[in-house]
Amino acid sequence: MSIKLGIIGGGQLAWMMADAVNKLGVKLIVQTPSQNDPAVSIAQDSIFAPINDAAATEILARKCDIITFENEFVNLAALSLLEKKGVCFRPQLSALAPVLDKYEQRCYFKELGLPVPEFLALSREQEIELQIANFGFPIVLKARRHGYDGQGTFIIRDIATLSKIINQSQTQFLVEEFVPFQRELAIIAARSVNGEIVIYPTVETFQENQVCRWVIAPAKISQEQSLEIEAIAHKLLNSLQYVGILGIELFLKADGTILVNEIAPRTHNSGHFTLDACATSQFEQHLRAVCGLPLTNTTLNCHSAVMVNLLGYEISQSDYQKQRQQLADIPQAIVHWYGKTESRPGRKLGHITVLSDQDNRNAVEGIIHQIESIWYPPEKICENFPK
Ligand code: ADP
């Protein structure tokens, strides 16, 4: 009998599970706010409710064997009551608890002995200037909860701006040192119910205004660095007793030091290349893990791959047919279009992966530039490649 899998969140991350759902014969039921959300079209059944609506999750639980997450902005306290009543969440809620608040997540990493940027939780009772006395500018301010795609992350250059943002908001913040990284890296790893672990090749990611623009797989790093990152992944997965896919974001400094920035307890944008460029996608691997199936091969099936996000740059209801066709005409390109009904600046509308038989950096940058030139108006094209 096929497994009935509930998923909290019906965005593109759930939508990209479509092939794996069919392959593994899983019945998918989504809890998502709107009928227009991408994964509604691939689900057998949908419950239209906000992600953090635990009463809706209780209804979802009655229809499913297992519940997983495409979005971690859930009401953990309310879900815990369901878990106590026997609802099976994978990853289990104890693996989510330490990571939903960015400050608590950082404390967790530090206790595990992982390398992290200097950070502290801002208190509203004390003078801000005193609290950040050891940091210096620029400084990075982050909302402790519900930040994503750079929403809630601010790179700040002076005390006046810092005070203004904090005073105008009720949000709880952490601050951290600005890391002058040479590159940003990410790794996707999975752990099964039996504790088996598989890891994808480390990738290089590039963020502009805190939003991921593109990913290159594999990252050009030393074997030592690669092993160090894999060891970080093992440590995190095992200590959290994690089940499913975990995305880990890292900073690589010019002196070769690696710092952990943050983790995402779900499939991750930096792993979208796996759909086309790896033996098994992160989406299939996640389903395998949470459904109690054995994990499978994570190797690249090409020499290298580049994934470029197609971000909204205007408010529009266009489906961008012409640009999508031009992108699809690039040799060895695969365009994934999420079918969203409205475009807004910064919104992830789709992505494109281009496979390559070589890993010449100039050629890779040329492809990224070609994609961005087709997709964006001239003033939005990113010219800023890390050296
Ligand atoms: P989000 O959860 O919104 O993605 P992140 O912590 O991943 O937030 O930050 C988004 C981006 O902001 C990072 O990928 C990086 O480019 C930049 N950033 C975040 N923290 C720092 C830092 N301490 N130093 C320098 N840049 C940072």
Which residue is closest in CA terms to ligand 1's atom 8? 150
- Cβ(262) – ligand 1 distance below 6 Å: yes
Q: Measured from the CA of 177, which atom of ligand 1 is nearest?
A: 23
φ and ψ at residue 368, rounded to 5 degrees: -60, -45
Q: CA 98, CA 274: separation in Å to the nearest integer?
A: 27
pLDDT at residue number 8:
98
- Cβ(75) – ligand 1 distance below 6 Å: no
Q: Which of the 8 DSSP states describes residue 269?
A: G
Helices and strands, counts by H and E, the chain: 13, 17
Which residue has 């790179």 as its token pair?
155
pLDDT at residue number 149:
74
Q: Measured from the CA of 150, which atom of ligand 1 is nearest?
A: 3
pLDDT at residue number 37:
94
Span from the CA of 223 to the centroid of ligand 1 (angstroms): 25
* Residue among 182, 209, 261 whose CB has most ligand 1 atoms within 8 A, to mutate: 261
E strand or H helix at 365, and its extent? helix 361-375
**pLDDT band with cut points at 50, 70 and 90 for residue 1:** low
Q: CA 209, CA 365: separation in Å to the nearest integer?
A: 19
Structure tokens at 85: 């009543």
Query: What pLDDT, in 10s, does the model give residues 314-362?
Result: 999 999 999 999 999 999 999 999 999 899 999 999 999 999 988 788 9
- Cβ(100) – ligand 1 distance below 6 Å: no
Query: What pLDDT, in 10s, does the model give residues 150-192?
Result: 788 999 999 999 999 998 888 999 999 999 999 999 999 999 9
Cβ atoms of 104 and 250 closer than 8 Å: no
pLDDT at residue number 382:
86
Q: CA 32, CA 40: separation in Å to the nearest integer?
A: 8
Cβ atoms of 323 and 371 closer than 8 Å: no
- Cβ(339) – ligand 1 distance below 6 Å: no
Q: CA 200, CA 234: separation in Å to the nearest integer?
A: 12
Model pTM score: 0.96
